[in-house]
Amino acid sequence: MSKLELLIEKLSKSSPEAVNTLSSSFDNIVEYLHIETDIEKKYIETLENNKEGKCLIFLCGSSGDGKSAIINKHLKKFDTYFDFHVDATHSFDPNQTAIEALSDSFDKYEKGTKSLVVGINIGIMLNFINNSINFESISSAINKFLNEKKDSDRIYFINFEDYPKFKFEDNQIKSPFIQNLLEKITIESDNNPFYKAFIEDEEKNIIHKNYKLLSNKFIQKSIIDLLILTNLKYDQFLTVRSLLDLIYTLLKGPRLLINQLFEDESNEIIKNLKKEDPILKRSFSLDKFILERSSNKTDEKLEEYITNLNSQCIEPIFDLTSPFTLIRMFYLARNEELSNNYHLAFKKDFDDSYLHDFVELIAVHKKYDDTDKKTIKTFYKNIISAIYLYVNKNLPELTKKSHIVLTINKSFTTSAYVNMDPNWSKIKSSNLNSFQSFPLHMKVDDVDLKPVDINLNMFVMISLINNGYRPNKHDRNTIIIFEEILESILEIATLSNKIAISSKNKRILFTRKDEEIEVEDEK
């Protein structure tokens, strides 16, 4: 096994280094890869501010978030003032449950003089308050945190959920953490053990090819963009451990990294990345490219492109007979100038205008300005259009009269006039913290609709409906939310002052004015 392969094995979720325990020493690789995050800074600050007096500090997160790593790194600095307990790795007895071990630590804390730091999974928290009959003040504080996200007197909660892997900066979604992690692994420096192993290994294999590919900034950027996209579309959950395991999977092979990214069957993150595989896209130019490559048609410009790319690799890795690998390469390099830029001819085929427009809406909601009103107006125009198209699909002519179908049967249809507008006062005052969604604030006949979060999937669905698409069973999760919006609108519409009854040859409009109802025969 090569030196690089031995190091990469340490990134695997099955590696002994994947879990830090309070008794383990900091491995050189773990220490090298460590990146100080905002939550770690908050953790250090909280401990520094509470050296005097007695307190209880919870570091809360999911398995693999890095609770143990943070606690272990600063253990010696604070062990004079604090005792430490990590729910996943701290055990006094092999037959003892996690709740029993936690209860022992709380008992020692309440009877002793030292403060206590607990690294804990939210699930263990819930189990504790549901199964423990002791420690009333601690259970009460946990309940308060879970329900109100608030600390209690001398009981503090530092939650990984409040420090996401992605940040919204300069009207873009970024991940400094993932970017720093990839740079640490690939930087050309003698201080980087991965790079040193890569240079020192005399025999090169697929791992070395993949390491060389991963060292490209544009590939790193594309991987981060894909992780952002899967987070928005599929609510992809990311932890430090899962990210390291993804890097391990991409490097280990047996495929080229460009294919491994979309084909591996073992990695949980790649299961969602596969859904964004560029070879699933259909366009005239992409289909034509695949057919020409399958028939070995001569393409001198492509040959020049591949020759130049291969000259930058350890050994030739691209060839004319691998159209799918090349298409994936074109996709990863779509925003980069390479060789003779052959790949840029396909850039428009990979264009994701939906994502761009969605992020723009997140930006204008985060920092509302009257100059951004046009962007928000366009969105509300689109969602109102989609609502009419969806509800009035059998009687589209009603949309022209701003009517919405209430009931329909073989003999007649009832519809109501509705007026739908953005609620500008609420849009202006909304305090948006998320980058995954923005709130829909709409008024129907001057009645406020209950706010609904619009995520990327809902945004895309609205656009697709306006382009003639009809949702099916595969859109179930998104269409349920859309139909909840429609139900709220229909509930208000039934109280409209203008109700129409239509048959094949006749339409009667009932208009309520004060205590009278006017009847108008519309043909």
CA angle 235, 239, 242 (to 5 degrees): 95
Task: Give the pLDDT band (50/70/90) at residue 26.
Answer: very low
Which of 177-181, 431-435, 488-492 shows the lowest per-residue confidence on average (mean pLDDT)? 431-435
Instruction: For residues 363 and 435, give the distance between their C-alpha atoms in angstroms, rounded to a whole number.
Output: 8
Model pLDDT for residues 346-379, shown as the tens digit of each residue: 999 998 889 999 999 999 998 888 777 899 999 9
CA distances from 127 to 106, 132, 140, 243, 386 (A): 15, 8, 14, 28, 44
- Among 436, 68, 7, residue whose Cα is nearest residue 241: 68
pLDDT in the model for residue 507: 78
Give yes or no for residue 40 having a pLDDT over 60. Answer: yes
pLDDT in the model for residue 460: 94
Beta strands in 160-223 (DSSP E): 167-169, 172-174
Residue with tokens 């999760």: 477
pLDDT in the model for residue 187: 97
pLDDT in the model for residue 140: 94
pLDDT in the model for residue 91: 55
Model pLDDT for residues 116-126, shown as the tens digit of each residue: 999 999 889 99
What does DSSP assign to residue 114? S
Rounded mean pLDDT, 53-57: 95
Task: Give the pLDDT band (50/70/90) at residue 511.
Answer: confident
What is the four-CA torsion angle of 367, 368, 374, 380, rounded to 10 degrees? 100
Instruction: For residues 46 and 346, give the distance between their C-alpha atoms in angstroms, rounded to a whole number.
Output: 51
pLDDT in the model for residue 505: 75
Element (H, E) at 243: helix 240-252
Rounded mean pLDDT, 434-439: 90
% of the chain with per-residue pLDDT over 90: 67
Give yes or no for residue 88 having a pLDDT over 60. Answer: no
Which of 4-8, 322-326, 515-519 shows the lowest per-residue confidence on average (mean pLDDT)? 515-519
pLDDT in the model for residue 97: 85
Both ends of the chain: CA-CA distance in Å?
Answer: 84
Give yes or no for residue 27 having a pLDDT over 80. Answer: no
Average pLDDT, the chain: 90
Rounded mean pLDDT, 107-115: 94
Rounded mean pLDDT, 65-94: 84
Model pLDDT for residues 272-283, shown as the tens digit of each residue: 999 999 999 999
Q: Which of the two residues, 14 and 92, has the higher pLDDT score?
A: 14
Task: Give the pLDDT band (50/70/90) at residue 516.
Answer: low
Task: Give the pLDDT band (50/70/90) at residue 134.
Answer: confident
Which of 136-150, 397-411, 446-460 shows the lowest per-residue confidence on average (mean pLDDT)? 397-411
| CB-based contact 352:456 (threshold 8 Å) | no
pLDDT in the model for residue 367: 83
Domain parsing of the chain, residue ranges: 38-162, 167-347, 356-522
Model pLDDT for residues 461-489, shown as the tens digit of each residue: 999 999 988 888 778 888 999 999 999 99
Model pLDDT for residues 229-271, shown as the tens digit of each residue: 999 999 998 999 999 999 999 999 899 999 999 999 899 999 9
- Among 64, 483, 457, 475, residue whose Cα is nearest residue 234: 457
Give yes or no for residue 211 having a pLDDT over 60. Answer: yes
Instruction: For residues 317 and 306, give the distance between their C-alpha atoms in angstroms, rounded to a whole number.
Output: 9
pLDDT in the model for residue 504: 74
> Helix, strand or coil for residue 519?
strand
Instruction: Quickly list DSSP for 249-303.
Output: HHHH-SS-HHHHHHH-SS-HHHHHHGGG-GGG---HHHHHHHHHHHTT---HHHH
Rounded mean pLDDT, 10-37: 73
pLDDT in the model for residue 522: 65
Element (H, E) at 475: none
What is the four-CA torsion angle of 87, 88, 92, 97, rounded to 10 degrees? 80
CATH top class, domain 38-162: alpha beta
pLDDT in the model for residue 369: 80
